[in-house]
Structure 1
Amino acid sequence: MSMPKLSRRAFAGLFTAGLLASVSAGAVMAQEYTKENPLKVALVVHGNLGDKSFFDSAAAGLNRAEAELPVDVTVIEAGLDRGRWQPALADATDQGFDVVIGGTWEMTGFMAELAPEYPDTKFIIFDDAPDFSTGNFGNILAINYRVSTAGYLAGYAAAKISKTGKLGEILGVEGATIVEFALGFEQGAKAANPDVEVTRAVAGSFTDPAKGKELALAQFAQGVDIVFPIAGGTGIGALQAARDEGKLAVGVDSDQAEIFAPTDPAQADVIFTSVEKKVGDSLFTALQQTLDGTAPYGTNLILGLADGAVGISKNSFYEKLVPAEVRAEVDAEEAKIIAGEITVESAMN
C-alpha cells in the first residue's frame, strides 16, 4: 500500500506541546470558529460505546474537545449490524458536518468512496488509512499507531512476573493493527525470557465476551498465568476470566485498570498494566489542528512510543504488581526503543 506518511520527527511533540507539525502541502486553511459558531464534528462508531477500550477512548477525546475547543460533537452509534455502517457514515456526511470521523479498516473503504464526493467535508480515519495513491483523498487525515513499541514493554514485564513462563494472547481478528500489538508483546517477552511460551488464539469477533472468556479459560488450563486480550468487547470476557481464576491480565487501548477501578475493583486488581493506544488524545489534537489550519489532511500519520501516542499504564496497579527492579528494567528498555537502540517488529509499513 502506497501512502504519504509523516515521520516521527515531523510529529515530534504532539502530546507534549499539543500541536501537530505544520505541513504546508496537506494543511487545510483555518476558518474562524467560536462557541457560537462551532466546528461541527460527527464520530461514527461502527458498533456501540461501552467497550471500556477503543471506542470509549475515541469518544473521551471528543468529549474533551467539546469541553475545551469551539467544537460541537455528535456521536452516532451504528450498532453491530454491518449493513448499517456505510449508511450511517453517508448520513453523517449528508447532514453537513464539517468533520466526519470513523475508525479501523472496516470503515476505510466507505470513507474513501465518500471523500471525493464531498470535497468540502474533512474526514478523519483512525487506526487505518486509505491508499492515498489511488484517489483524491486530500480531505482525509489518517492516524495510525505503532503500538508494537508499547506492546514490547508489556510483554517484557509480563515475562518477568509470570510464574509459569506461559503467556496468552487473544486477538479479535488477525488484521495488521491487531497483530501489531502481538508482535511487540511477543518480542518483548522473548527479550525478558528467551524460554517464555506465548499462546495465541483468535476469537473472530470484537463483540463476543463469552468467546473471550472461553478462550482465556482454555489458555489458563494450559498453564498460562497472564493473558493479553486484543479484542475490544470480546476481551472483556477474557479479563473477567482472569479475575475469576486469580490470574493476571494486560489491558488494551485504554488504561483499563483505572476504568474498572470505580465499579469493579476486583477486575482492576488483576490488570497489572495496559497497552495504551491514545486514540482520544490523537483525535483531540487533530481537531485542534483542524481549527488552526495546520492539520495535515492528505497524509497518513504513524505515531509511536517516542511521540507519546502509545505507551503502557504505569499506575498504582503496575507499581503494586510489578517489582521495582522489573519496572526499572522496563524503563531502560523504553529508553532504548526511543533512542533507536532496539528495533521493534511491526506489522505496519
Structure 2
Amino acid sequence: MTTNMLSRRTFAGLTLAAGLALPFAGSPALAADYSKDNPLKVALVVHGNLGDKSFFDSAAAGLRKADAELPVKTTVIEAGLDRGRWQPALADAADGDYDVIIGGTWEMNAFMAELAPEYPDKKFILFDDAPDFAAADLKNMMAIQYRTSTAAYLAGYAAAKVSKTGKLGEILGVEGATVVEFAVGFEQGAKAANPDVEVTRAVAGSFTDPAKGKELALAQFSQGVDVVFPIAGGTGIGALQAARDGGKLAVGVDSDQAVIFEASDPAQAEVIFTSVEKRVGQSLYDTLKKTIDGTATYGQVVLLGLQDGAVSISKNKYYEKVVPADVRAAVDEQEKKIVAGEIKVDTVMK
C-alpha cells in the first residue's frame, strides 16, 4: 500500500468515526443548504481532452449549465491522452476540495470504484458505465447509463429510408457495451425500415484517431455505403470528414453534431442529417440538481432512455432537408411506439 493510499484510507476511517458517513443507497444524496455563497463543489475529470465535439463536450456543457443555474461551482480537469495520468487525476480530485467527483465510461470505472469507499464524505458519479455494486461498498457512488439503442433505432430507420444504395456503415471506436448499444438499435431500426438493408460494421480500436476513422469510412464508401454512422468520439470526426468530402451522408453521435459544425464547417454540417444524442450534459445537470435538493439516490445504476428524454435524435433543419416529410412522420410514429412500449428495442444493457 502506498503512503498516499494509506493517508486517504486513514482520513476516510476518521471521517466515518466522526459520524460523517453518508446515507445508504436509496437515501437522499446531501442534506446541506447550498447557495452561490456556499456552492456544491464539483469536479469533472475528463480522461482525454475537450474538443471532441460529442461526448466530453456534452458533459462539460452540462456542468456549464449547472454553474449558471444551480448553486454549484464546477471545475473540468482534462487528464489528457496518457492513460497513466487518468487514475492520478481522479485521485487528486478526490483529495481536493470537491463534494462531487464525476468521471465517465468503462475506462474510469475501476478507478472510481476503488476510490469511492475511501472517501465516504464525497459523492462520485460515473456516467456511461457501471461498477458491480454488489461487490463493494459503493453507497456514495451513482452510475448513469443510457439506452441509446432506443434513439439509434430511429436514426437507423431514417438512414435506411434515405439511403439510395441500401447500404449503411457503422464505425465503432471499440466494441464495448456502451458503443454496441448504439449499433444494435441502429441496425434494428434500419431493418424495420428496409428488411433488405445491408449494414457493415467496422471497429477502429480507438476514440482518438481521426485518420483511422476516415480510412474506415472511405473503405465502406468504396463498397457502396452511402450513409455512415461513426460511434467513435474523436475517431469519428475523420469519418464525418470522409462523408463531407465524398458527398455521402452521416449520422452524428452523442451531441447534435451538425449544429456544432455549422459555424466552423458548413459543408460538414450539411451531410450530418441527424445525430443520436446521448444527453450526457443534461443527465449530469439533472443529477446535480437532485443531489442538491436531496432526491438523488446513490449506490445504484440509473438507466435512462428515450422515455426519460435522456436520448433522442436531432430533428433540425438538416434533418428536415434530407428526410422527406412522410419518412419524418413514420419516424415520429416509431418513436411513439417505443415510448409506449409497443416496440421493444434491442439492448446490450443489463
After the TM superposition, which residues 212-291 of structure 1 pair with which residues of structure 2 at under 5 Å, given as runs? 212-291=213-292
* Cα shift at 1:34: 1.1
SS at match of 1:37: coil
In 2, distance between residues paired with 1:203 and 1:87?
Answer: 27
In 2, distance between residues paired with 1:109 and 1:159?
Answer: 38
In 2, distance between residues paired with 1:128 and 1:28?
Answer: 20
SS at match of 1:52: coil
In 2, distance between residues paired with 1:292 and 1:191?
Answer: 43
Show CA shifts across 1:286-328 (max 9, x none).
0101111111111100011011000100001000000000000
The residue that corresponds to 1:178 in the other structure is 179
Gap runs ≥5 in structure 1: 1-22
After the TM superposition, which residues 189-208 of structure 1 pair with which residues of structure 2 at under 5 Å, given as runs? 189-208=190-209
Query: What is the letter of the counterpart of residue 196 of structure 2?
Result: D
The residue that corresponds to 1:51 in the other structure is 52
In 1, distance between residues paired with 2:26 and 2:300?
Answer: 10
After the TM superposition, which residues 1-349 of structure 1 pair with which residues of structure 2 at under 5 Å, given as runs? 25-349=26-350
Query: What is the letter of the counterpart of residue 333 of structure 1?
Result: Q
* Cα shift at 1:33: 1.1
Contact 1:26 1:299 in 2 (8 A): no
Report how many residues are paired: 327
Contact 2:181 2:348 in 1 (8 A): yes
Identity %: 77
In 2, distance between residues paired with 1:249 and 1:225?
Answer: 8
TM-score normalized with structure 1 length? 0.93
* Cα shift at 1:28: 1.8
Contact 2:261 2:269 in 1 (8 A): yes
Structure possessing the higher relative contact order (Cα contacts under 8 Å, 6 or more residues apart): 1
State the structure with more CA Rg.
2
TM-score normalized with structure 2 length? 0.92
SS at match of 2:242: helix
The residue that corresponds to 2:7 in the other structure is none
SS at match of 2:333: helix
In 2, distance between residues paired with 1:26 and 1:261?
Answer: 44
In 1, distance between residues paired with 2:78 and 2:110?
Answer: 18
Contact 1:24 1:294 in 2 (8 A): no
* Cα shift at 1:141: 1.0
In 2, distance between residues paired with 1:313 and 1:128?
Answer: 24
In 2, distance between residues paired with 1:34 and 1:340?
Answer: 41
In 1, distance between residues paired with 2:194 and 2:118?
Answer: 53
In 2, distance between residues paired with 1:178 and 1:343?
Answer: 19
In 2, distance between residues paired with 1:26 and 1:231?
Answer: 36
In 1, distance between residues paired with 2:344 and 2:29?
Answer: 34
